[in-house]
Every structure is written in C-alpha cells, then in structure tokens.
Structure 1
Amino acid sequence: MILGIDEVGRGPWAGPLVVGAVVLGGEIIEGLTDSKKLSKKRREILDIEIRQKAQGFGLGWVTAAEIDEIGLSQALKLATKRAVEQIAVPYHEIIIDGTVNFLAETSKGKYVTTMKKADLLVPAVSAASIIAKVARDNFMTKQDDVFPGYEFKKHVGYGTVVHTTAIDNLGITPLHRLSFAPLKKYAKLSNKFKKNNDSGNLVNETTKQIGDSAETVAANYLMKMGHKIIDRNWKTKYCEIDIVSQIKDVIYFTEVKYRKSQNQGGGLAAITPKKMNQMKFAAEFYALSNKIDDTNLRLSVVSLYGKPSVVDVFLEV
C-alpha cells in the first residue's frame, strides 16, 4: 500500500504549515485530484469521504512561531514527520509530492519516492492534499473571530492586497511569519499589535491566541501517545470540542485547559459536573453528526501551564 504525502501552506505570510498523510489501501474514491483544482464545497465533501474510507490518515502541524524558529525547510521536515507518526497501518511505499524527500533523515527515508504533480497522479497523495487543505482552511477561517479585520477567511494567510492593507492598518499577529521577507521589518517590534482604544479586545485576542497555541501543544502530546488527530476546534452553535483523536477503535474528546502558572491552580479544577455534562453532550453530538458508533467514546482533559505551554496532566474523565 502507498502512503501519500502532500503539504499545504508553504507560501502564506500567516498561519500554520500542514502536511497530510493518507493510506487509502484498496479504497476507491471518485474525484480525487490536486486540492487546488477543486471547489471548497467539493473539497469538504471529499475530506469527509477520505476520513471515513482511508485505511489511515494523519495531519502534521507546524506553527508560524516554529517556522520562524527553525526555518521553512526544517518545518517541512517536522510537519511531515508529525503526519507520518500518526499512521498506524502498514504501507510499502511513501510518495511525496514534489522533488524533496522530507523524510530523508529518518528511518523511513529509504521508502520514499518523490514525484512532481503526484497530487494529480497518485490518489493517496491527492487525498493527503485535500485533507491538509481543508484542515488548514478551516483553521484560518476560525481566526477571523480571533483577529477581526484581517479577513483570514478570504486569503488564508497569503500575501494578497487585502492582507497587506490589514497589516498596514492593524499590525501583525502571532499568526504571522516574521522570518518571511515581506514581514521581516516587523520582527524587531516588541509589541505585535498596534495599540488601539479597545484594550479589552486586545486582551481577548491575545488570550485566545495563547489558548490556540496550548491546543497545538496538547495535540502534539496526544500524537506522541499514539493518538491520531481527527478534528481540532470543532464547533457548532450548540457545542464545541477542542480536540478529537483516535487510538484503534476508541475516539477521545479532549478538553484543553491552560493556566499561566501552576500557582493559579490546575486546569482540572475547571472540569465541574456542569462542564462534564457539556463535554458528554458535545461528544454524543459529534458522534451523531459524523455517524460514529457511540459505544467507544472517551472524555479526556489535557491541563497545561507556562509559556511556552507544558503539559501538566492528561486524564480520562
């Protein structure tokens, strides 16, 4: 079986880099092609079908801060490694879209074939392209609520006129890649936001971004424990779930709780009976919405503290 790999988000000025990895096995999914050639609606339909039918899939995320710290080349290797680590099913070959073997420095490098336009020619790579694109686009769309005025939903972080104008008017955010040439002039600024009269909004945005960063740390922690990340920041008008993950046939619904320091009390203190009921409802609603058997659902909590965030406790509740 082939493990297909493709990345999304190499060129944007803002947002994460995401690598998709998919093993389709013998499954045939009609309409697979390069994600960029599909409409948003068609990508989202195929994303659901891929997740349901693929033998295995994974998503490797690298944040803007990590890209700035280690550089884009190393970030591509790291995101690919994180995606592949989530694949628990066997495969005999790895095909990466493009000309660079991002796994060359790992034990899996010898199984890699690089191929130009593999996202057009190899179904597993097409599938990887699609799930990575949908996941990243959904993440960037949600950032509109965190950073209003940047129109991330429209340009998903790319250097468009709208995006450039927003940066000129509002400054940069923690989503921005300061190591990229167009943004380097901002790197020396001590304050990543232009001060405005609405200090309350500024505090809320910063707090929300810290929370998003903590969720990324929690997701990486779960992956190291063998979890496959299925969804992040899943929301409806009725409920929301921070992280949905899977080990074998068990689905975990994880609440992420962050505190600045251990002196503020552990995040587990926030899991009250009322919160437990909300988590249970959200898990059951997710299972119903995604046609998942609700007999193997688990609720869990990851508690973190500090900056950068450190996992304090992981607990099934």
Structure 2
Amino acid sequence: MKIKEVKDSFQNVSDYNDPLFLEFENDPRKGVQNIITNTKKRISKLEIEKEKFRNRFNFETELWNQGLKYVAGIDEVGRGPLAGPVVAAAVILPKTFNLVDVNDSKQLTDKKRRELFAKIKQQAIAYNFSVISNEVIDEVNIYEATKISMKDAVSGLKVQPQHLLIDAMEINTEIPQTKLIKGDAKSNSIAAASILAKVTRDNLMIDYNNEYPEYDFINNDGYGTAKHLLALKKFGVTPIHRKTFAPVKNLIEK
C-alpha cells in the first residue's frame, strides 16, 4: 500500500485498538511510522476533549440521576452592544448528545458555531429563541430585558423542562433552577444555548448591516468599535441603537 493510501486509511481511526495499528506497526517506512505517531497524538487529544465534554455534563448527569429527564440550558448574547437586540436561547439535550466540540460560544470560530448550530438543533429534544428589541431594552434596562428574554425562551419550549441551568442569572419561574457562573464553560446545555443564541443574533446583525452598512455591524455585532463610534458621530443614531446606552445617549442629549 502506498503511503498516501495508508494515510487515507488512518484518517478515520479513533481508537488505539484499531487493527490498522497492528497491521502497520512494523512497516519500515518512515512516512508510515509518522502517520501512526500523528494518529496516536490525534486520538490522545480527542480523548482529552471527550473527557472534558463528559465533565461538562456533570450538572445534567446529577439531575438525570434524580429522575429529571428534561434539563434545559439557558444563555443569552448581546448584553453589552450599543445596538441591536438581546437574544436568549433555551435547549434541552438528550443523554445521547455527542457533539464533543460544543463549548462556550466565545471559544469557537464563526464557522464552527454555524456547523454546530445546525447539529445542535438536530440532536436537541427541544430548543427555542427569544429576541428582545432595543426599544424594550431602553424601556426596562438591559438586566431586566435579559431576564425577559431568558424566561420567554424557556416558555416557548415545546417540552416543559423539569430543571433549568442558567448562565449567571436567575429568572422568575416556578421551575427549579441552578445559576452557574461562567456556565457556558461548565455545562454542555448552557454551551449549546450560547451557540444557538450567538448565531441567531449574528444573523440579525448581518441583516442590520445590510440596512445600515456605514456602522459595520457585520464585524462589530453592535459593539462600540472605533468604526462604529465614528459612524455614530457622522451619520447619527439608527432605529436599532440603544438610546439609554452611552455614548448613544450622549449624542441624543446634545
């Protein structure tokens, strides 16, 4: 077998006990031995990631072991920007959920988030989004708007959750809940919700960018970057800006 064919054969090997290792362990070609070494390194790295993934199910597993089948993770995105909505997502994952790459959305590339976005929805027992506009944010403040978005995301789930795992917040509901600081790094359910919320809001900001291209929303997501602030001074405040947030508020009051 040519070295390229050997390499292709090892591409999908994910177990140290795979018979391919035994077949080629005594192959004298340096290229083949490099393939074996690199494959073992890849498997080792994958095993570490799998272990981290299992650990991120500790909170869910404890609840599942109590007989609670439907545990929802809740997270939001968009608390800090000067423009656009705050978006929350709630998701109930099955015990068989196996997307090892799911993690805090901030740790993932846009491409990876979008790949996982579709896969999470495929595997989830239930999921839901809630989009709270900048008008509501200005009316009730961002903290209250975030709680509203989270509660609405939970309320719209097609399956009633028996427990909530929430990233750094508590919401007004009779459903038992656990508040986890940096929960998107501790719980797969919260991490999955963070990915759903992030991609949903990113898509909205892309639409807004098409409507208001001067503000560079496609790159800044509504945050106060230098280009965004310059556009605010030059072109003024748009209908999607949060008028209670400085420096937007300061421009209005001038």
TM-score, normalised with respect to structure 2: 0.70
Q: Pick the aligned partner of 1:97 from 152, 164, 167.
A: 167
1:116 aligns with 2:185: no
Residues 123-142 of structure 1 correspond to what in structure 2 (within 5 A)?
123-142=188-207
Structure 2: which amino acid aligns with 1:181? A
1:106 aligns with 2:173: yes
Bigger radius of gyration:
2
Map Cα deviations across residues 149-179 of structure 1 (whole Å, 9 max, x no partner): 1110010100111110111111110110010
Residues 273-312 of structure 1 correspond to what in structure 2 (within 5 A)?
none
Q: Pick the aligned partner of 1:21 from 74, 78, 90.
A: 90
Structure 1 CA distance for aligned equivalents of residues 156 and 193 of structure 2: 13
Tell me the CA shift for residue 188 of structure 1: 4.5
Contiguous gaps of at least 5 residues in structure 1: 190-317
1:183 aligns with 2:183: no
Residues 45-60 of structure 1 correspond to what in structure 2 (within 5 A)?
45-60=115-130
Q: Which position in structure 1 is the counterpart of 2:221?
A: 156
Asked whether the 8 Å contact 2:94–2:123 carries over to 1, the reply is no
Structure 2 CA distance for aligned equivalents of residues 166 and 187 of structure 1: 14
Structure 2 CA distance for aligned equivalents of residues 168 and 123 of structure 1: 41
After superposition, the Cα gap between the structure-2 partners of 1:187 and 1:107, relative to the gap in structure 1 and judged at 3 Å, is: farther
Map Cα deviations across residues 228-275 of structure 1 (whole Å, 9 max, x no partner): xxxxxxxxxxxxxxxxxxxxxxxxxxxxxxxxxxxxxxxxxxxxxxxx
Asked whether the 8 Å contact 1:59–1:83 carries over to 2, the reply is yes
Asked whether the 8 Å contact 1:178–1:186 carries over to 2, the reply is no
Q: Which has the higher helix share?
A: 2
Map Cα deviations across residues 258-296 of structure 1 (whole Å, 9 max, x no partner): xxxxxxxxxxxxxxxxxxxxxxxxxxxxxxxxxxxxxxx
Q: Which position in structure 2 is the counterpart of 1:88?
A: 158
Q: Which position in structure 1 is the counterpart of 2:108?
A: 38
Tell me the CA shift for residue 136 of structure 1: 0.3
Name the SS for the 1:80 alignment partner.
helix
Q: Which position in structure 2 is the counterpart of 1:76?
A: 146
Residues 189-200 of structure 1 correspond to what in structure 2 (within 5 A)?
none
Asked whether the 8 Å contact 1:21–1:84 carries over to 2, the reply is yes
Structure 2 CA distance for aligned equivalents of residues 50 and 41 of structure 1: 14
* Structure 1 consecutive aligned stretches of length 4 or more whose deviation exceeds 3 Å: 186-189
Tell me the CA shift for residue 40 of structure 1: 0.3
Q: Which position in structure 2 is the counterpart of 1:261?
A: none
Aligned-residue RMSD, C-alpha: 1.3
Name the SS for the 1:119 alignment partner.
helix
Q: Which has the higher strand share?
A: 1
Structure 1 CA distance for aligned equivalents of residues 134 and 209 of structure 2: 17
Structure 1 CA distance for aligned equivalents of residues 131 and 225 of structure 2: 23
Q: Which position in structure 1 is the counterpart of 2:77?
A: 8
Contiguous gaps of at least 5 residues in structure 2: 1-69
Name the SS for the 1:78 alignment partner.
helix
